[in-house]
Amino acid sequence: MPRRLAYLLLLLPLLGACQTMKIEDFEGTTPRLVLEEYFAGETRAWGIFEDRFGNLRREFKVDIEGTWDGRVLTMVEDFVYADGETDRRVWRIEKLADGRYRGRADDVIGTAEGRAVGKALTWSYDVVLKIAGGDLKVRFNDWLFLQDDEVLINRASVTKFGIEIGTVTLFFRKPAAQIGKTESDAGGKQAA
């Protein structure tokens, strides 16, 4: 028992050296991510889900239609998985003060909470996944990074009881014809 305790005490400084990314680290970075501007209109995404061992489990494509009414961003996400399964999620995301966002969707338990700073946004929420044999409640911790006007990258850690069970990686792209258009030109609404 004393030997195990000694090993644990030796590992504690190493655990403290592991630093997680903080949204404040992106202060002043560009291009600046404004969620309601990026997702106004049409967006397409391609994604993968890898289990905790790095095995590719699912591939999918998502077509997204976003509208902004000056207060709420509504995003209709239509998923098509490589195995032919389809799904739809409708997000209603409210913009708050200080770059903060709060969102709801039918399969999200409670609300999603996020904050954008510079080129990044962090976003966390609990969701119920439909799997063989029942439902699985998991937590998504997303990090989104705007690369330029067209490209946004999302990496999400999927956890259960605080243990990572997999990761989702998404690559979003705006249609080239839509870049530089106003929200009303892109299908969104402008605030009055």
Residue 12 lies in a domain: no
What are the distances in angstroms from CA 99 to CA 37, 74, 149? 13, 17, 19
Q: Which residue has the tokens 């490589």?
A: 82
pLDDT tens digit sequence for 145-181:
999 999 999 999 999 999 999 999 999 999 976 665 5
Residue 33 lies in a domain: yes
Residue 121 lies in a domain: yes
Q: Which element (helix H / strand E) includes 146?
A: strand 134-146
SS3 20: coil
Question: What CATH number has the domain bearing residue 102?
Answer: 2.40.128.20
pLDDT for the residue 6: 52
pLDDT for the residue 182: 45
pLDDT for the residue 191: 33
User: Domain range holding 37?
Assistant: 21-178
pLDDT for the residue 129: 87
Residue 192 lies in a domain: no
In b/e form, how buried is each residue of 123-143, taking b as 16+ CB within 10 angstroms?
A: bebebeeeeeeeeeebbbbbb
- Cα atoms in the 13 Å half-sphere on the side-chain side of 158: 19
Residue 189 lies in a domain: no
Ranges of the chain whose pLDDT falls below 50 = 8-9, 12-17, 182-192
| Number of domains composing the chain | 1
Residue 9 lies in a domain: no
Are 122 and 100 a contacting pair, CB within 8 Å? no
What are the distances in angstroms from CA 164 to CA 53, 169, 180? 10, 14, 38
pLDDT for the residue 1: 53
Residue 187 lies in a domain: no
pLDDT for the residue 168: 98
CB atoms inside a 10 Å sphere around CB 150: 15
pLDDT for the residue 100: 98
Q: Which element (helix H / strand E) includes 15?
A: helix 2-17
User: What does the alpha-carbon distance between residue 152 and residue 47 come to, in Å, rounded to a whole number?
Assistant: 12
pTM of the model: 0.82
Residue 8 lies in a domain: no
